[in-house]
Structures are given as structure tokens and as C-alpha cells.
Amino acid sequence: MRYSKDYLFDLAFRFLRATGSDEGEASIVADHMIKANLRGHDSHGIGMIGMYTNYLKAGYLHPNTPPTLVKDKGSILQFQGNLGYGQRAGFEATAAAIARAKENGLCMYTIANCCHLGRIGTYGEMAADAGMVSIHFVNVNQYHPLVAPYCGSEARFGTNPFCVAMPGTDKYGMFVLDFATSIVALGKTRVAMLAGKKFDEPVIVDPEGRLTNDPNVMWQENPGALLAFAKHKGSGLCFACELMAGILSGGETIQPAHPRNDSIVNNMTAFVIDPAALCDLTFMRSEMEAMIDYVKSSHAADPVNNPVLMPGEPERIRTKDRLENGIEIADGEFNVIKKTCLDAGVDASLFA
């Protein structure tokens, strides 16, 4: 079934209001989730409310909790997330960093210990919308490690996402490179296992160190670990996210001396840069446009099904489709969303 973004926003907003969030927080978090659905990243969309309910009940997620500014050193802002909704902490901290970068040309900001930040590209898009360039390093603690280091067979990292965003040009939209540093997300291994499918390439390493495309390995008693993308390079970037986000934010790394309760806690270290402090904006736009033209002119083997796209473009294509035709949600997932909403006290007439 396909559902309109307004309907899904309404469900998410009412769920958040019913579970303790004030109007402002509910609006920010619901907007983040529904934009993730629109962009095609359903793993960070409205389907997250089931997990958030568990966290709320366990006291791992504190509604109505804004991030607090704990250090202000001009071009450095450090926030404590206080286990509030990461989407709110990310929104408020990024807005403050954009304002500071407009004054100083650059703002480095960190957020420690917020609950799930969601889709990191959202913060890149915020910066690019304001005419800024941004770079984001994120790590995950509290959740058990999922990703093996290069040549290792046991997990030592979260799926640590990385993002770089630049403002758009008249011809093309903004550049938004935003990905997890594992080849596939854990959720994708569950979907493949339930569907009885194997991956086309090895994406997992089993406890004996053998690479495998079998998703069951992630769900057996002694599970394997996800592989980082691009061998030592992706593993290195995952490691960099761990150190940059876990240490500079003060929120800690995933090393085993720290307790773990298997909720998702994120830390982020990010940079917002005003390009006008470095170069002429007309130069920037014309150079970007020429470079993107050049990249896209590379001959694609299958231009109809697999054209050369720029980072951010698949999300724009999916957003256009989903705005026009609705957001597709499988019945099984929608039933979980419905039950989560009804259990929270959301008006049943919304599901009539």
C-alpha cells in the first residue's frame, strides 16, 4: 500500500504527542522520519516508532529533552544530547552551527549521547539549504558492535555513518553523500533472511573469518559481523567516524569498558563551512555544474536502468515519485506502525 506523506506525518506526529513530546519536538521528529521515507530510506522513517516505544518504556529515550550547549568557543559548539530524540538534538545543534558559520565562516560542532540521530543526510541538507558545506562523522554506542574491522572476524564498530553535503546549483540539486560504512545495514540482512534470499556478494564475515553472502549468519546463536564497504578504506572511514565522533564529542567510543544496553545512542562531530569565506560563489556554482556535467557525461553501460547519478540524486528521484504516488509501506510493517500508534493512544479513527 502507498500512503500520502501528510497522512504518515499525522500518524508520526500524533504518536509523538501521545508519548510525551511537545508540539515542537513532535513536529521536528515526525518531519525527519517522513522525509527519510520520502528519500527512500525507510529504515529511518516512520517504522522506527516501534523501536522508539521500547526505548521510551525502558527509559533509554527521554522525550521533551532539548540538547544543552555545554561549550561555546566561538567556532566550536559542543552539545550534550541528554538521551533526547536525536532528530531534535541534530536539528537544533545544526541550526546553531549554521548561524555560527555564517558569522565566523566555520563552525565545528559536536553532539554527545543523544538517542538515534536518524538519517544524517538530513543535517547535510539543512546546511546545504542554508548555502553551507558540511561534513559529518557519527558513531554508535550502547548498541552491540555490528561491523568487523578489515581482516577481523568479530564486530568492533557500529554502522557509523558519514556525510558530506554541498549546496545545489541551478541545473542540479545539492550534493549529498550520506551512507553507513557497512556494505549493508543489519535490517537488510533480516529482510533477506526472512525472504530466504542471499546477497549477490559477500557482505558478512562468519565467526571463523570466512566471507559469506548468507544473511542467516547474522542471526545465528554465534553471529557473524557485517563487512565495511571498500575493504581497508571503508573500514578505515568507519574507524575514523568512531574516533572523531566518540572522542571529540565526549560521548565515548564503543570500546568494551563502557556499558551497553542495546539501545542506539549516537554521537556526532561535524563541520559547517561557509563557502563564501573561501571562494567566490559564482565560481563555486559554475565549477560544480561543469564538474557534475563532466561526471554525468561518462558513458553508462545501461543508461536507462543504471544512469550515472550524483550523490543526492537517487533521493531526489524517489522523493518526486513518493510525493506524486505516495510512500509504499509493506502491510506487515504498517500493521506494526498501527499497533504501536493504537497502544500509545492515537485515535483509532485514523485507521478506519
**Which among 253, 208, 202 is positioned nearest to 231, based on CA atoms?**
202
Interface stretch with ligand NAD, choices 59-67, 96-104, 310-318, 343-351 (CB under 6 A): 310-318
**Cβ pair 51, 262 in contact under 8 A:** no
**Candidate ranges 95-103, 176-184, 213-221, 285-293; the one touching ligand NAD (CB under 6 A):** 176-184
Residue pair 315/35 in contact (Cβ under 8 Å)? The answer is no
49: which DSSP letter? H
Under the binding rule (CB under 6 A), the answer on residue 29 touching ligand NAD is no
The DSSP output letter for 348 is G
Number of shown-chain residues binding ligand NAD (CB under 6 A): 24
- Comparing CA positions, the residue from 80, 50, 83 lying closest to residue 64 is 83
Q: Does 32 bind ligand NAD (CB under 6 A)?
A: no
Supply the minimum distance, in Å, between the C-beta of residue 169 and ligand NAD: 16
Which range of residues in 64-72, 75-83, 171-179, 243-251 is near ligand NAD by CB under 6 A? 171-179
Q: Which of 293, 288, 295 is nearest to 133 (CA)?
A: 288
Considering only residues 92 to 131 of the shown chain, the ones binding ligand NAD according to CB under 6 A are 116-121
Establish if 242 lies at the interface with ligand NAD (CB under 6 A). Answer: no
Least distance CB 315 / ligand NAD (angstroms)? 5
| CB nearer to ligand NAD: pick between 6 and 302 | 302
C-alpha span between 148 and 157 (Å, rounded): 7
The conformation of residue 157, written as its DSSP 8-state character, comes to: B
* Partner residues linked to 136 by β-bridges: 163, 270
Strand segments (E) across 194-323: 204-205, 211-212, 225-227, 265-273
Binding residue for ligand NAD, selected from 32, 44, 100, 322, defined by CB under 6 A: 44
Is residue 84 part of the contact set for ligand NAD (CB under 6 A)?
Answer: no
246-275 residues in contact with ligand NAD (CB under 6 A) are: 266
Contacts of 307 (CB under 8 A, 6+ apart): 296, 300
**Binding status of residue 41 toward ligand NAD by CB under 6 A:** yes
List 45, 63, 215, 311, residue binding ligand NAD (CB under 6 A): 311
312 binds ligand NAD (CB under 6 A): yes
Instruction: Tally Cβ neighbours within 10 Å of residue 293.
Output: 12
Report the alpha-carbon distance of residue 181 to residue 286 in Å, rounded: 31
Q: Looking at 127-180, which runs of residues are DSSP E strands?
A: 133-141, 147-148, 161-166, 175-180
* Residue 180 near ligand NAD by CB under 6 A: yes
Does position 51 interact with ligand NAD (CB under 6 A)? The reply is no
Min dist CB 179 to ligand NAD, Å, is: 4
* Site residues (vs ligand NAD, CB under 6 A): 41, 44, 116-121, 138, 140, 159, 161, 176-180, 185, 266, 309, 311-312, 314-315
